């Protein structure tokens, strides 16, 4: 069959703006296009360090995906690509400071991330209120590009894109206790989060199976508490007989904080307490109710060992750890864990029972005294962290003993905890297992996947999540839902390739939950857009699950 091709059709490849997550508005005129070729320029305000960095990112991404090498040409009003902060637009256009008719308003803090892209005969303009918006715009342009060497350049149909995220909190989590991942890998993980428009990385740093945060005042904590004698493998109760360890120095954490900030991601560190902490008890057995001996846990399940709430040294320990955590991580939010705290030790510990008496705690039928004891610890820690200008986040068990004043609830055992907290006027992050636990199997047929912790969470289910639960929360209560987070626990995930296999494409789906309005979402349409994103993953060497249910 003979197909007549114009030279453009033969050589130039064409951009497609229908990306993931889908922008709020894309108006494209496919009859007209701008052609981008090597040697053209990218203009930006060189006095603005962030805009300059974003221009560099864009230059690198375009070359990586298309082979087109652009020049950095700050201040050149005729450059093919122009990065513009709204305030710096020409006065003649009657654009007031930080106002642009192109930029959508958005909800609260999300408005700062608004951006617009216009493509016309003069080239490609990225508009934003803040440099973060330029970064989001550059990511959108990156994801729109055709992939593969484009020697004759690429054509970009004329368009006007306007976008702003739905939620201000768009998170992803990684457990680096059950398995340790290098800082280089974590940088790659952050790059993938940024590609999806995420702005929060919840870093689970400590658990029974390994303490991974250096505390300078307590050097043995990471040196010894990070190493378990061996690890269980698979599901058959077998152990590998190999010591396993690794921890992050404070310098490495700071380096990661810097790297994340350049990609507009905040790192929320989590030190899980008062349970999930046997790794620390193995180093300081005096902090446990029984006095030990304890071990860095080798199996990949839970532990009944907890910090002794009646021992005054426990709060001293926690303040030392969280104090250093605050020195390293500038995050406004600090995660104090609080999940799955068995109360058996506290019930039989004379020191804990004495503390309950001293505090005058009584079972009110809703909150047991042991649950209230946990709340007391949370209060103490919250006061300590508030003094340092931080707010606490806790897993939804923190509701069980009565929520602290300003605590933020991370609702993981379904959405009920989040609903209850929002009804009480507390801020909430939704991360229910049924939609957001990416350690679950993603295909029904287990034999086609690596061994996982179990259960079943297909991409389609993640995609269907609606975090505002409008049938249970009033409009006002919905305002307390800050956003949504994907969680990736690593009991059964030991290698980088496996992390990405579990993450993708479910994070693609969750990114639309985080970014898009419900009326924009359509799973069939999402799947068609995913085809291109998978090509991008192939090009930049990111693994993902090839099958989808």
Catalytic residue (choose from 207, 370, 491, 508): 207
Figure out which of the listed residues 45, 339, 380, 466 binds ligand ACM, where binding follows CB under 6 A.
Answer: 339
Longest dimension (CA), the chain: 90
Backbone angles phi, psi at 163, to 5 degrees: -150, 150
Catalytic residue (choose from 127, 179, 276, 426): 276
Please say if 220 is a catalytic residue.
no
CA distance 162 to 104: 7
CA nearest neighbour of 517 among 21, 2, 145: 21
For the bound state, the minimum distance from the C-beta of residue 139 to ligand ACM, rounded and expressed in Å, comes to 29
Q: Of the two residues 311 and 485, which places its CB atom closer to ligand ACM in the complex?
A: 485
Selection from Zn ion, ligand ACM, none that 408 binds (CB < 5 to 8 A by kind) is: none
Whether 402 and 362 have beta carbons less than 8 Å apart is answered as: no
User: Rounded to 5, what percent of the chain is helix, strand, coil?
Assistant: 40, 20, 40
Q: Of the two residues 280 and 530, which places its CB atom closer to ligand ACM in the complex?
A: 280
Whether 310 and 355 have beta carbons less than 8 Å apart is answered as: yes
Q: 199-238 burial by CB neighbour count: b if 16+ within 10 A, else e? A: bbbbbbbbbbbbbbbbbeebeebbebbbbbeebbbeeeee
x-or-dash string of contact with ligand ACM, 502-531, rule CB under 6 A: ------------------------------
- Told to check if 412 binds ligand ACM by CB under 6 A, we report yes
Catalytic residue (choose from 16, 64, 255, 340): 340
Please say if 105 is a catalytic residue.
no
Whether 193 and 252 have beta carbons less than 8 Å apart is answered as: no
Q: Is 33 helix (H, G, I), strand (E, B) or coil?
A: strand
Selection from ligand ACM, Zn ion, none that 412 binds (CB < 5 to 8 A by kind) is: ligand ACM
Please say if 270 is a catalytic residue.
no
Q: Of the two residues 349 and 545, which places its CB atom closer to Zn ion in the complex?
A: 349
- Told to check if 492 binds ligand ACM by CB under 6 A, we report no
Q: Of the two residues 143 and 178, which places its CB atom closer to ligand ACM in the complex?
A: 178
CA distance 541 to 548: 19
Selection from ligand ACM, Zn ion, none that 467 binds (CB < 5 to 8 A by kind) is: none
x-or-dash string of contact with ligand ACM, 245-274, rule CB under 6 A: ------------------------------
Whether 40 and 66 have beta carbons less than 8 Å apart is answered as: no
For the bound state, the minimum distance from the C-beta of residue 356 to Zn ion, rounded and expressed in Å, comes to 10
Figure out which of the listed residues 48, 191, 262, 340 binds ligand ACM, where binding follows CB under 6 A.
Answer: 340
- Told to check if 395 binds ligand ACM by CB under 6 A, we report yes
Which residues contribute to the site for Zn ion (CB under 5 A)?
289, 308, 310, 349, 351-352
CA distance 404 to 383: 10
For the bound state, the minimum distance from the C-beta of residue 208 to ligand ACM, rounded and expressed in Å, comes to 11
Selection from Zn ion, ligand ACM, none that 308 binds (CB < 5 to 8 A by kind) is: Zn ion
Selection from ligand ACM, Zn ion, none that 289 binds (CB < 5 to 8 A by kind) is: Zn ion
For the bound state, the minimum distance from the C-beta of residue 175 to ligand ACM, rounded and expressed in Å, comes to 9
**Per-residue H/E/C for 451-493:** CCCCCECCHHHHHCCCCCCCCCCCHHHHCCEEEEEEECCCCCC
Partners of 210 in beta bridges = 207
Rg (CA), the chain: 25
Partners of 41 in beta bridges = 71
Q: Of the two residues 126 and 281, which places its CB atom closer to Zn ion in the complex?
A: 281
Selection from ligand ACM, Zn ion, none that 310 binds (CB < 5 to 8 A by kind) is: Zn ion
Within 49-159, where are the H helices?
Answer: 49-66, 131-144
For the bound state, the minimum distance from the C-beta of residue 341 to Zn ion, rounded and expressed in Å, comes to 12
Residues catalogued as catalytic: 207, 276, 340
Binding site for ligand ACM (CB under 6 A): 339-340, 395, 412
């Amino acid at each position: 069959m003979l197909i007549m091709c114009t030279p453009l059709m033969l050589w130039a490849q064409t951009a497609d703006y229908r990306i993931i997550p889908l922008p709020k508005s894309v108006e494209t005129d496919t009859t007209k296009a701008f052609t981008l070729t090597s040697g053209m320029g990218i203009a930006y305000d060189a006095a603005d360090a962030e805009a300059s960095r974003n221009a560099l990112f864009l230059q690198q991404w375009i070359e990586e995906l298309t082979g087109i090498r652009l020049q950095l040409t700050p201040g050149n009003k005729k450059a093919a690509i122009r990065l513009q902060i709204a305030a710096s637009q020409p006065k003649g256009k009657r654009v007031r400071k930080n106002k642009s008719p192109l930029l959508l308003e958005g909800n609260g803090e999300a408005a700062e991330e608004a951006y617009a892209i216009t493509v016309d005969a003069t080239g490609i303009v990225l508009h934003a209120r803040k440099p973060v918006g330029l970064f989001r715009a550059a990511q959108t342009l990156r994801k729109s590009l055709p992939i593969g060497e484009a020697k004759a350049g690429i054509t970009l149909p004329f368009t006007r894109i306007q976008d702003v995220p739905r939620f201000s909190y768009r998170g992803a989590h990684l457990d680096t206790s059950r398995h340790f991942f290098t800082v280089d890998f974590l940088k790659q993980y952050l790059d993938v989060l940024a590609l999806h428009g995420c702005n929060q990385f919840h870093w689970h740093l400590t658990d029974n199976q390994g303490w991974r945060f250096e505390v300078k005042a307590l050097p043995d904590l990471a040196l010894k508490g990070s190493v378990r004698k061996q690890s269980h493998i698979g599901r058959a109760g077998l152990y590998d007989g190999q010591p396993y360890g690794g921890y992050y120095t404070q310098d490495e954490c700071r380096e990661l904080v810097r790297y994340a900030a350049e990609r507009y991601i905040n790192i929320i560190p989590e030190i899980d307490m008062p349970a999930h902490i046997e790794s620390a008890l193995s180093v300081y057995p005096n902090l446990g109710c029984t006095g030990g001996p304890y071990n860095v846990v080798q199996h990949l399940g839970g532990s009944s060992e907890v910090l002794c709430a009646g021992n005054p040294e426990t709060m001293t320990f926690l303040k030392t750890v969280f104090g250093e955590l605050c020195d390293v991580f500038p995050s406004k939010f600090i995660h104090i864990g609080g999940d799955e705290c068995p109360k058996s030790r506290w019930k039989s510990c004379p020191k804990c029972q004495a503390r309950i008496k001293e505090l005058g705690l009584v079972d009110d039928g809703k909150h047991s005294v042991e649950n209230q004891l946990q709340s007391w610890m949370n209060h103490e820690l919250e006061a300590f962290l508030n003094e340092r200008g931080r707010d606490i986040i806790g897993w939804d068990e923190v509701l069980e003993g009565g929520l602290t004043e300003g605590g933020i609830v991370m609702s993981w055992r379904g959405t009920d905890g989040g609903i209850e907290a929002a009804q009480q006027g507390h801020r909430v992050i939704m991360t229910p297992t049924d939609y957001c636990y990416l350690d679950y199997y993603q295909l029904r047929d287990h034999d086609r996947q690596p061994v996982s912790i179990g259960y079943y969470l297909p991409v389609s289910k993640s995609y269907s999540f609606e975090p505002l639960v409008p049938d249970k929360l009033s409009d006002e209560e919905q305002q307390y839902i800050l956003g949504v987070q994907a969680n990736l626990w690593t009991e059964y995930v030991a290698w980088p390739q496996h992390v990405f296999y579990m993450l993708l494409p479910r994070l693609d789906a969750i990114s639309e939950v985080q970014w898009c309005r419900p009326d924009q979402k359509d799973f069939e349409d999402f799947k068609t857009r995913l085809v291109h994103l998978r090509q991008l993953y192939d090009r930049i060497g990111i693994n993902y699950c090839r099958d989808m249910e």
